[in-house]
Structure formats: structure tokens, C-alpha cells
Structure 1
Amino acid sequence: MKTTRRIAFAAAVALGAAGCTGAAPTAQGTSGAPSATPRSSAASPATTPAASPTVPRLSQAQRRRAAADVAPLSTAALAAQLVVPDLGSIDAGAAATVRQQGYGGVVVMRNALPAGPAAAGAAKAGNARISAAVTASGRRWPAFVAVDQEGGTVTRLDAPLTQFPGAMALGAAGSAGLAAKVGRASGAELRGLGFTVVMAPDADVTIGAADPTIGVRSPGSDPALVSRIAAGYVRGYRQSGILPVVKHFPGHGSVRGDTHTGLARQDADLAALTKRDLVPFRDAVKAGAPAVMTAHVILDAVDRQRPASLSRAVTTDLLRDKLGYQGLIVTDALNMGAITEGIGAGEAAVRALEAGADVLLMPADPAAAVSAIEDAVTTGRISRSRLEASAALMVATLRANVAAVPKDSAPGSHGNIAREVATSSLTQISGRCGRRLVGRSITPSGGTAADRAALAAAAKRAGLRVNDTGTTVALLGGGVYRAGSARSSGATSATADVLVALDVPYGLASSKGVKIAAYGRTPATFTAVVDVLLGRSRAPGALPVAVGSVQAGAGCGR
């Protein structure tokens, strides 16, 4: 352990000295083809910091009050408070389980809700039951009712909620202020349904096409850009009264494995990590992010044996001690393959607490996790005071960040912001900028059936015909992220008059035609695409990642 601590200390020293990389985007060309000159690059010298307003830290009074509230709990109740399971439902039975077992709350996954628009109403009713179950058991603090609602490919609730794209669209727009608007809008609608925690934003720095898991969920490949966008999201979420969880420390975007299916190893040295993966988390710590999620990634440079979420060298020595993080630490889901492959649910929970985690997310067997923690206290492996400290931090953090439901919380009430994201992020990397790109009709291909229908509908609204003889417009997929899989979402390359990448933009590198990166498939996305096809608006976004030989930062300019 001494060796790994010395390594972690070296990393922290380097982090303290490292500045944010990447210059702020500047306008490029007013006519002609898209500029290939990067407006922002991870290789650029440090110029402007990824600054954001500091989030107020918990006061001593808030901490003392929470400590006094959790002190009377039994050891079993303390252990259960730290466990936040996926019960597969939020019906009356699930609420009864939360009350009887004493869990701190639940994570609401897509399978807990009915399909279609009815999901919103079901979520609101179910979340109310869960919150009531927590307070009914004498706990005078908010329930930890969480949802993965990053936008884009990681969206648990669709319409009627306003649909936003993944974070890469915000990276292309390059605006922390717009990210704050999205966080505020999405958070308000989630609070309106009774959620208290959102498992976002994603602060991973992607390495591009070799990143199989994060992809369009990342704002981009420039650490400074990722820092700015993540900070904007955090600010917006907190303004809406919901607790954001920055993820996935120490970074998953440069890892070539998927922790949903098994162990994934980060083999980069600390010098590389210091300049890339750790930068957004260092900045989040400085800004006072209220909660951080640890990944199940093995960080070879610090601990070659255990994933970060179960490693004291990473969770405590690096994140807590060296980066100085004082906020809530939440594990990634403990039912993922990287954890369950070789360890039981109870032992995983105990190891996560030993590592320094506070909230144990989605153990494969929640009851076994609670029992194992209780046994660990009995045997002296973990102290009761350790449980009290995490429970108090959890309670104080929820109280400080969960606020009353905003007035503008109606589902679907933020279409104007979705449109702003769509029009600000579209990136054209070939063809004549600002010119009409299609004739009087178009022939859609690629994508999914739903994608083609959405494009056709947007085209018809704009006065375009859709037939078999029009300008060919191919929609590129690239795989839709769904916990451990990359299901096809349409062809990843094609030859057409115009190509539109709906997910990650990498397929554009091997395709021929006018190339546009859209980073999403929301209703607003297709409307914005048609406006660019007709020359009604200019695609102002900048590539947040390299696409083949086209560097990050390229585009038609603003």
C-alpha cells in the first residue's frame, strides 16, 4: 500500500500543477467548405481554466444535524441506509420492501416502468410511494430516488419528457451555459416526477472510436472542454433542486473494455491520466461537486488488483486524500459484470465501504449486502462509526441539494432548449457551408425505421417531398449504448449525397458525401438537420472529437 500511496501522491502533485488544456473556440470561415483548423484541441497549450461557480460545501451545522439524526439507527439500519437497490419496480410492493428493509432509496430503471408515455405518470406515483416509505420509517430526510437520465443513449424516460441528446452534442456546441440550461430543464422535469438524484453528468474524456462504452455520452476528447460542459450540467441540475452525480471516476472514456460485462483495465500511466482523464474530476472537486461516482475500472498505475470502486488506493488515497474531495462517493452499479464475475454481493459491498464509498448502488443481492456489512461491524472489519459517517454524509448531501419541485417541471415543457441544443451542435465537416444541400425532395436511408420516419416527418413539415428519386440522405448509427451491448442503430458507413451521423460521428470518416454530425436523434435534432439541408441555417458546431483525418474543432464555424 505504501507504494500505491506514493504513486497516488505523485499524481496529485502533478494534478495540482497541471492547467486546463484547450483554447476556447473561435469563429471560423464565413463561407465555403468547413474549416479543418481545430478550434479546440486537447493538445493545445493551457489558456483559460475550466472555471465554474463553486458549489457551496456542507456546513458544519448541516453535518452535525445529519450525524445526530443517524446516530440512533441500529447497525443494520445504518447498513441498509447506504444501500440503494434496483428492485425492478416502484409499485406498492417495492415501497413496502424499502420501508421494511430500511434501504436509502431506489434506482429506477426502464424495466420498472411501463412502455410509452404512461411511464412518466407511473414514475411520479411510484417515486412518491418510495419517498413516503423512507419517511414512514422515521427517517426525516429525502429518499435517494435516482435515475440514469444523461440524455441521448442513456435515457430511462422518453416522451412526454423533453428529449435531450447526449453530452457530446453539448461539447460540439461548446457552451457551458447551454449545458447548464439543459441540466436545469431536465432536472426540473425529473424533480416534477419525484426523483431526487440524477446519475449525471458524464465527465469522461473519450479517446474516440476506440472507446466502446462511453462514446456520445462524453462531451469530447479535450479535457478542458469536458470540464466546462460537466460543470455547466452540475450547475443546472442543482438549480433545479436535484442532486447530480459526476461520473465515472477516475475516467472510463479511455478504457477499451466495458465494465458491464467484465473487468476493464486502464493501462495508461499517471502522466497521461493527469493530463487527460483526471482533469475534469479535479476541476469538479475544486468546484465542490456534491457527489461523484466511482467506476469499476482497474487503474494499473495505482492498484493493479481491484477496480477503483473497491480500491482504497483509488477511492480514498487518490480521490479523498490527494484531490481533497469531501463530497458523497457513490459506487457504480454493483451488479455489473466487473464486480459479480468473481465476488459475492455481500463481499462487494463490504469492500466498497473499506475502499471509502458512501452509497452502495444496486448490489446484486441488496439483503445480502446489508447482512454482510452488519457482520463486518460485528467482527471488527468495519467500525460502526464508519457507517455513521457515510450515512450522515448521505443525509446531509440530500438535504442540501434536494429542493422543492420547480414551477416549470411539467414534462415536455422545455422544447425551446432542446431546439437550441440541436441547432447549436450540428456540425458540418464537408460540403459548402450555409448552402442548400438538397433538391426539392429527399430519399432517406439508413438509421432505424423510427429515425427515417422522424426525418421524413421533419422534411415534409419544411415543404420537402420524400420519395425514391430525391437527394439521398443516409442516416448513420454507430451503436446505441445499452448496458453492456452496442446494438446496431443503423449502418455505420454509407455512400449518399448527404450523410448524417446520429450517434458518434466516427462513421463519417469512411463515408462519402456531404457530412453532418448530429450527435442525437431527438425530435429537435431532425428539425435542425432539415434546416441545414435547406440552407435555412448554418451548422455552427465544432467536432468535439477527431473523425478520421479531420481534427477536433473542425466545422463550419459560428
Structure 2
Amino acid sequence: MFRPLVAAAAVAASFVVPPAAAAPTPATPDQSASAQQVRSAVTELAEGLSLEEKVGQLFVTYLHGQAADEVHPGNQRDFGVGTPAEVIAKYRPGGVVYFNNPSYDNIDTPQQIARLSNGLQRASRVPLAVATDQETGLVTRIGAPATQFPGNMALGAGRSTRDAERAAAITASELRAMGINQNFAPDADVNSNPANPVIGVRSYSSDPALAAEFTAAQVRGYQQRWLSRDSVSATAKHFPGHGDTDEDSHTTLPVVDRTVEQWRAVDAPPFEAAIRAGIDSVMTAHIRLPRIDPSGEPATLSKPAIDLLRNDLGYDGVVITDSLAMAGVRKMHPDAEIPVLALKAGVDQLLMPVDLGLAIDSVVAAVRSGELTEKRIDQSVLRVLRMKFLRGTLGHPLVDESRVDASVGAPQNLAAAQAITDRTITVVRNESLPLKTTLKTTSALVTGWGETTTRTLAGLLGGTALPTGGTPTEAQIAEAVRAAASADLVVVLTNALSKQPTQQALLTRLLAVGKPVVAVAVQNPYDVAHTAAPNWLATYSYGAGSMAALAKVITGELKPSGRLPVAVPGPTPYPIGHGVTW
């Protein structure tokens, strides 16, 4: 047994946070005697690590497969070994990240995720930070039966920080039951650019103050209190702010033309609020800020950008990169240089390098050559270990697999999620809602964007679904018009309508039929400024819970209470805060 780890675990098991430190900033370990215990425990653990093990602690890697002992060709291709457990044993990373896509395929059921987490923890000498992107809403890695929420912009529309905190607390408890102890959420970006292709509804608001309130609330919900086994490390992203881009950093290097003063006024407030709430980690953005760093480096590799976080905002917690496989960070440097440059800039955790072995070897070589000092490595290692300590991961890395099914998607969690979602639907324009007749005497046609979404809503309304997709053809439009002629109510779901002329044509043609039409923006609310539909609603989400809430609003079972959390520009603009009820 690794003795420093035993010592750290013993301190973790007996560590009691005083009431006054319920929401501390872990960046200042001298605040209390208890914080000194944290420093002592993680320092002892770090001193027992070799240089290679210390460097490994700074990396968070992807893996292939759904079981620790599953032989997967992707692991052989990318890591030279067959199973996820062998990847951990070979490279000794500090963390792993789970995905639910064909490229990595780590996620199936809550039970399976818990088994995978435990298997990986058993394979690791130092307990792992096990992470995922469960922002909820648009970015959700773990679907049902885990409790689903509509996402940040919907929460912003609901205007209840209590709801936001509750949603985060439920999400955290379910993640932790599956062995996940770091969540790459909340998204703290202020969506100041309506054309933003990658943030949008992932943001709470275009208003910095509102975004700050909700960021802090969700940090409190995710993290709760030190050593809570229902909490996860929250990660505010994407610093210094990805909200004013019109390009996607997954595929290019976007430019944000902010001055420092503009950044302080618009983008900084949510990150400041997260730090005050005791955020465990902050994720960087692969964006270029020429007025802040004329070198052209992406923020992830930019010391002036990271200094805004370290010096201007006074943050000394964990800073993690966005994925190092993204195009935005790979434009200017080869993969071997990127992790070294990130550490020089002030980053601590290095997420998903393209070649993990190359990345680790590059950092070790930089220390051996003197390009990086071991003291600099130690600084980041201590931050990472402190984060793991404060979440209780060092003392209790394993989860009880027998309790997973009772914890994930518990009835009380599902009920809370629906109640929260019910408070997010926004009626922007209204002429004929709620329905004057009952659904038993109404024939409803639900058409437009989303195969599953249209069918879900049609089922709830007792109507007929006719999905036409994001770019409906003339034949599909004509079919929808024919179906509308025999319907008493037509509901048209839109997604990015402002950018899709054929979606606009579908809605315009259906309005000409002369039947009551309800248009619904099921993602970004910017759609509502377009076309002359007499009834326009925004749900900010196309999930089943949002469709259930929408159906209740349409039928009059629920009074709408959501208000726009962003200003909507366009032919018929609407101000932030606008919302209609009855």
C-alpha cells in the first residue's frame, strides 16, 4: 500500500469543515486550521510521487470502452494497450473523462458507469479525478434514467437561483453515485453574440449580472460542502469567455476583440462569482484575444490571459484546458509543445492530449532540460490533489454499486426536475393561448424540427406528428400544409429558423392556411423575432421534460412564467426580461 496515500486518506476521513467554511475558496489554505490539514495531507502525498507520477497527475485522458477490463481496438491504437485499466497502469494519469459518442463509448447505464469508475480507481495508484460534461440541456453525456434538466438558458429564463442550485445538487449526487467526481460545468459564458455557434443555450444569459448569479448558484449546488460524497468538483468554463464568438473553437481559432476593460465588464462577472462561491476548477477557452495578448496565442496557452484569472481575479485553484485535441489550440504549435506552453501559461490540468505518451514525455523532458522547473510542476500537482482531497476522492475513491439504481433517477429527483422545467417556458407573443377547447375535441398537428421532439409533443397533445427536419423540402412543406387543413391546431417547432429560409417558408405557408398556429423555438430563442406567427414560445430545450411543460402551457394546465434571459434582435426584437402570461 502506498503510505502517503494512507496518510492522506486518514486525514480526509477525519477532516471536519467548520460551519464558517461551508463555501470556502480553496485557493487560500491559510484561512483556517482545517485548511492547513489539507495542505499537510496533499503535500505528504505529493512528496511520495516520482517526477513522472507528478506529471501524470496533470493529465486527464479519454479512454475507449465501457469496462475497465474491456479490450478495445481504440486503446491499442491510441495507447498501445488493450484495456482502460492498462492505460491507467501504463501512463498513471491524474484523471479520465467519459463520453457517450462512438469515438470513445464509455457510457451505457448508471450501473455500468459505476463499475467502470470503480475498476479504473482500482487500477490507479493515486485516486483519479473522474470527469464528464454533464452541463444538462444541450450538452448532456448521461441520459435517462439519470435525471434530465433543460440546461442553463432555460434556468436563466426561470429566474430562480434556488432552482438552479437544486438542479446542480441533484446532478452532482447522481454523478457521484456513478463514481464521477468532476463535472465540466457550469458554462459561465455570457452569450453576448446571438450568432454564437457553440455556446448559445449553454449560457444562462446575455446579461453579465444574471449569468453571474446563476453560475454561483450552480457552483454551490454541485460542490455543496467539503468532503460531501454527494458533491462533485464544478468547472466554470470557458475562461476568459467564449460568449462573443461567431466561430467554433472545435474547428478553428475564434477571435474575441475585447479590451481588458470590456472583458471586466462583460465576461469576468460570472467567473468572479464562481470564485467567490469556492469553485474547484476553471476551464480555459481556445480563443484569441488580440487586445489582451497581441502574440496571437489562444487563451489556453497565453500567460496574459491566464494572469487575468490568477492575478486580476485572485484565483489559485485548478485551471484545466479545454480539450487539447480541438483545432483551436493546435493551430500554432505541434502537439509536443502544447502541454509545456499551457503549463508555462499557468494551467494545471491538461485535458485530452492527442497523444498522451508524447504529451507526458514532453513535459518530463521540459523539466529535465530546465525549460520547466519541478517546483512549477509541484505547484499544479498540489492544486490537483487538493481538489481531489476536498471532494473526498482521496479518502473514498470507490462507490457502492448496489446503491446506484436507487440514487440515479430517483422519483423525487425526476419530480423536482419537471417542476423546475415547468417554470422555464417563455411565451413571447400570444393571441390564442391557452386553448379554448379541450384536447379531446381538438385535432393537433405537430410539425417542424426534430423527429423525436415532434413525436413526443404530438403524443402529449394527442395529435399527429409530421417532422420536416431543419431544412424542409418543398414536398414536405406541401404535405404539412395539406395536413394542417384538417387540423384544429398547428404547432410548428423551430431550431435555428433565422438561418434556415426553408423553415421560415414552412411557418409562413402554414400561417396562410388560416388555422391557429403556435410556433415554438426549441433551442435558441432568437427564432422568435422572425415571421408573423401570432403565438411564439421559447423552450430553450427540446428534451422530453421541456415538451411536457410546453404541452401544459398550450393546454392551459400551466401558466407560463419564463422570461427571456437574452435580448432577441431581428425584424421583431424583444428585450431581455420579456415574457407573457395569463
Normalising by structure 1, what TM-score?
Answer: 0.83
1:437-482 Cα deviation digits (max 9, x unpaired): 776121000121101111012113xxx6778523110011239xxx
Range moving further from structure 2, 501-510 or 110-119 = 110-119
5 Å matches for 1:377-526? 377-402=367-392, 409-411=407-409, 413=411, 414-432=413-431, 435-436=434-435, 440-460=442-462, 469-478=487-496, 491=503, 494-495=507-508, 496=511, 497-511=517-531, 512-526=533-547
Cα drift, residue 146 of structure 1 = 0.4
Partner secondary structure for residue 496 of structure 2 = coil
Distance 1:287 1:121 in 2: 32
| One-letter amino acid of the structure 2 residue matched with residue 143 of structure 1 | L
- Aligned equivalent of 2:557, options 536, 543, 546: 536
Distance 1:323 1:557 in 2: 40
The answer on whether the counterparts of 2:154 and 2:424 sit within 8 Å (CA) in structure 1 is yes
The gaps in structure 1 that reach 5 residues or longer are 1-51, 480-485
The answer on whether the counterparts of 1:438 and 1:471 sit within 8 Å (CA) in structure 2 is no
Range moving further from structure 2, 217-226 or 512-521 = 512-521
Structure 2 equivalent of residue 313 of structure 1 = 304
Distance 2:246 2:326 in 1: 16
| One-letter amino acid of the structure 2 residue matched with residue 473 of structure 1 | V
The answer on whether the counterparts of 1:250 and 1:308 sit within 8 Å (CA) in structure 2 is yes
| One-letter amino acid of the structure 2 residue matched with residue 410 of structure 1 | V
1:498-545 Cα deviation digits (max 9, x unpaired): 011111111121132300000112222111111111112111000001
Cα drift, residue 208 of structure 1 = 4.2
Q: 1:114 to 1:279 in 2, by over 3 A?
A: closer
Partner secondary structure for residue 345 of structure 1 = coil
1:249-300 Cα deviation digits (max 9, x unpaired): 1000112221111111111222222211111112222332121111111122
| One-letter amino acid of the structure 2 residue matched with residue 354 of structure 1 | K
1:321-379 Cα deviation digits (max 9, x unpaired): 22110211111111100122332222100011001111001111111110000000011
Partner secondary structure for residue 349 of structure 1 = helix
Cα drift, residue 203 of structure 1 = 0.5
Range moving further from structure 2, 121-130 or 378-387 = 121-130
1:77 aligns with 2:79: no
Partner secondary structure for residue 382 of structure 2 = helix
Structure 2 equivalent of residue 547 of structure 1 = 568
Distance 1:102 1:88 in 2: 16
- Aligned equivalent of 1:101, options 88, 91, 101: 91
RMSD of equivalent CA atoms: 2.5
Q: 1:438 to 1:475 in 2, by over 3 A?
A: farther
- Aligned equivalent of 1:347, options 328, 332, 337: 337
Q: 1:401 to 1:226 in 2, by over 3 A?
A: same
Distance 2:556 2:93 in 1: 55
Distance 1:478 1:424 in 2: 23
| One-letter amino acid of the structure 1 residue matched with residue 420 of structure 2 | V
Cα drift, residue 113 of structure 1 = 9.2
The answer on whether the counterparts of 2:66 and 2:108 sit within 8 Å (CA) in structure 1 is no
Structure 2 equivalent of residue 335 of structure 1 = 325
5 Å matches for 1:57-456? 57=26, 58=29, 59-91=35-67, 92=69, 93-111=83-101, 118-134=108-124, 137=125, 139=126, 142-239=127-224, 240-304=230-294, 305-315=296-306, 317-402=307-392, 409-411=407-409, 413=411, 414-432=413-431, 435-436=434-435, 440-456=442-458
| One-letter amino acid of the structure 1 residue matched with residue 493 of structure 2 | L
Distance 2:504 2:115 in 1: 40
| One-letter amino acid of the structure 1 residue matched with residue 62 of structure 2 | D
Range moving further from structure 2, 68-77 or 168-177 = 68-77
Give the number of the structure whose alpha-carbon radius of gyration is greater. 2
Distance 2:51 2:105 in 1: 39
Q: Give the count of matched residue pairs.
A: 490
The answer on whether the counterparts of 1:500 and 1:515 sit within 8 Å (CA) in structure 2 is yes
1:46-89 Cα deviation digits (max 9, x unpaired): xxxxxx98435342321232122112212111111111111233
In percent, how many aligned pairs have the same letter? 32
Range moving further from structure 2, 509-518 or 366-375 = 509-518
Normalising by structure 2, what TM-score?
Answer: 0.79
1:152-196 Cα deviation digits (max 9, x unpaired): 111111111111112000000011111111101111111111111
Distance 2:60 2:252 in 1: 22
Q: 1:444 to 1:426 in 2, by over 3 A?
A: same
The answer on whether the counterparts of 2:25 and 2:275 sit within 8 Å (CA) in structure 1 is no
Greater RCO structure (CA 8 Å; 6+ sep): 1
Distance 2:218 2:210 in 1: 12
Q: 1:306 to 1:113 in 2, by over 3 A?
A: closer
1:369-420 Cα deviation digits (max 9, x unpaired): 1000000001101111111121111011111024676977223541112212
Q: 1:55 to 1:372 in 2, by over 3 A?
A: same
Partner secondary structure for residue 428 of structure 1 = strand
Distance 1:338 1:376 in 2: 23
The answer on whether the counterparts of 1:542 and 1:557 sit within 8 Å (CA) in structure 2 is no
Distance 1:272 1:437 in 2: 49
The answer on whether the counterparts of 1:260 and 1:336 sit within 8 Å (CA) in structure 2 is yes
Cα drift, residue 492 of structure 1 = 6.9
Distance 1:272 1:94 in 2: 45
Range moving further from structure 2, 342-351 or 410-419 = 410-419
